């Protein structure tokens, strides 16, 4: 398939060098003597890496496999709470941080598996609504927990700040390369075929249910890991931070970067966070801008009116295809 071993090794080396260079540059800029990335910028960069991890997971589920999920923040909260719960009861050391983060991902992935088995039978907008509902149920259940267990509505606080720059950076990098490598494998092509046409891909021998579950578990696992990092980055978790809004914010990144485009997701996470910082004091304007962007991107990408089609042709934009027709009566 054009991926002989030599090319594979070559691209791996390229990727490692690329990551190393980015890491090195950021580390140098962070040196106290240079101080271009001061602690304020550093927190923003960490936030960006956490959101990249979240959005990549959602892109795998929604963009690549075509299963529209509106409950991603729910899985993030499971990871965050799991890690917070562990870190509040143990001593902070590298091993425990690693274990807590991994546990966050695994618990979220397991919940993803349990939830995915029944719900992934649903299609398109029904799945979207079911996942929205599940995300809300997770949040409400967290709110009703007792104070000593998961803190109820007040959440858990004074969690040791265990996520450092290296942690969030390498989590995002691992997430990026796992998904981009997956896309180069036969599994990746199977995932795309599920998005493009479920019935046809089933006819070609793709196990549609397993493929959907694979994407869902992987996506929720990364959401859990990102959640764990988030808990270790802000130091407190509250159910209301993981509501429907958060899911939409993650979706926003995925849509802006292009559904199914993993590099786009990374760029969009960076761009949206920069916009967020610029409009820090005008959160309403930021939300209005986000909403307008959602509408405009969707209308330009999929609009059918002649002038939009012309615009698309002129700007060389691909209209995106997605499983599920929209005609009444079909």
Instruction: Catalog residues that contact other proteins under the rule CB under 8 A.
Output: 66, 68, 118-119, 121-126, 128-130, 132-134, 136-137, 140-141, 143-144, 199, 244, 248, 251, 255, 284-285, 287-288, 290-295, 298-299, 301-305, 308, 320-330
What are the distances in angstroms from CA 196 to CA 93, 299, 322?
A: 46, 20, 6
Q: Minimum CB separation from other proteins for residue 74, in Å?
A: 11
Exposure string over 90-108, b if 16+ CB within 10 A, otherwise e: eeeeeebbeebbbbbbebb
Identify which of residues 25 and 313 has a Cβ nearer to other proteins in the complex.
313
Q: Which is nearer to other proteins, 64 or 255 (CB)?
A: 255
CB closer to other proteins out of 17 and 285 = 285
**Nearer Cβ to other proteins, position 90 or 202?**
202
227 with 171: CB under 8 angstroms? no
CB 66, min distance to other proteins, A: 8
The CB-of-94 to other proteins minimum distance in angstroms stands at 38
Q: Shortest distance, CB of residue 263 to other proteins, whole angstroms?
A: 20
As given in the structure block, the two tokens for residue 214 are: 């694979």
Residue 51 or 198: the one with the smaller Cβ distance to other proteins is: 198
Q: How far apart are CA 228 and CA 237, in angstroms?
A: 10
To the nearest whole angstrom, how small is the minimum distance from the Cβ of residue 1 to other proteins? 28
CB of 252 to other proteins, least distance (A): 9
Give the Cβ contact number of residue 316 at 10 Å. 6
Minimum Å distance from CB 151 to other proteins? 14
Tell me how far, at minimum, the Cβ of 44 lies from other proteins, in Å.
Answer: 22
Task: Choose between 47 and 195: whose C-beta lies nearer to other proteins.
Answer: 195
CA–CA distance, 257 with 242 (Å, rounded to integer): 22
DSSP code of residue 268? H
Q: What count of Cα atoms within 13 Å lies in the side-chain half-sphere of residue 174? A: 14
* Residue keyed to tokens 């991107």: 297
CB contact at 8 A, 66 and 199 = no
| Cα 57 from Cα 72, distance rounded (Å) | 9
Q: Which is nearer to other proteins, 73 or 100 (CB)?
A: 73
- Tokens describing residue 128: 């979207």
**Separation CA 106–CA 313 (nearest Å):** 45
The per-residue DSSP string of 72-94 comes to HHHHHHHHHHHHHHHHTTS---H
Beta carbon nearer to other proteins, 9 or 317: 317
Check if the beta carbon of residue 247 is closer than 8 Å to that of residue 133.
Answer: no
């Amino acid at each position: 398939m054009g991926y002989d071993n030599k090319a594979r090794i070559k691209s791996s080396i390229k990727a490692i060098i690329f990551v190393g260079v980015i890491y090195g540059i950021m580390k140098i800029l962070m040196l106290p003597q240079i101080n271009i990335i001061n602690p304020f910028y550093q927190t923003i960069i960490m936030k960006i890496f956490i959101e990249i991890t979240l959005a990549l997971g959602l892109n795998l589920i929604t963009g690549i496999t075509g299963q529209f999920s509106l409950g991603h923040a729910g899985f993030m909260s499971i990871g965050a709470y799991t890690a917070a719960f562990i870190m509040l009861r143990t001593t902070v050391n590298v091993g425990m941080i690693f274990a807590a983060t991994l546990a966050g991902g695994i618990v979220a992935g397991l919940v993803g598996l349990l939830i995915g088995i029944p719900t992934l039978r649903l299609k398109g907008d029904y799945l979207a609504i079911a996942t929205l509902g599940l995300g809300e149920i997770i949040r409400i259940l967290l709110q009703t927990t007792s104070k000593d267990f998961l803190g109820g509505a007040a959440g858990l606080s004074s969690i040791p700040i265990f996520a450092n720059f290296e942690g969030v950076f390498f989590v995002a990098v691992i997430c990026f390369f796992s998904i981009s490598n997956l896309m180069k494998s036969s599994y990746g092509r199977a995932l795309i075929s599920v998005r493009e046409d479920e019935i046809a891909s089933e006819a070609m021998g793709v196990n549609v249910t397993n493929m959907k579950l694979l994407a869902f578990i992987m996506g929720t696992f990364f959401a859990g890991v990102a959640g764990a990092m988030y808990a270790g980055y802000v130091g407190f978790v509250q159910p209301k931070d993981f509501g429907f809004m958060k899911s939409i914010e993650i979706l926003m990144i995925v849509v802006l970067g292009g559904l199914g485009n993993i590099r786009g997701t990374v760029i969009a996470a960076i761009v949206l966070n920069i916009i967020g910082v610029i409009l820090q004091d005008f959160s309403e304007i930021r939300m209005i801008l986000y909403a307008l962007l959602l509408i405009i991107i969707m209308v330009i990408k999929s609009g059918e009116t002649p002038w939009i089609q012309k615009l698309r042709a002129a700007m060389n934009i691909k209209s995106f295809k997605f499983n599920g027709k929209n005609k009444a009566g079909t």
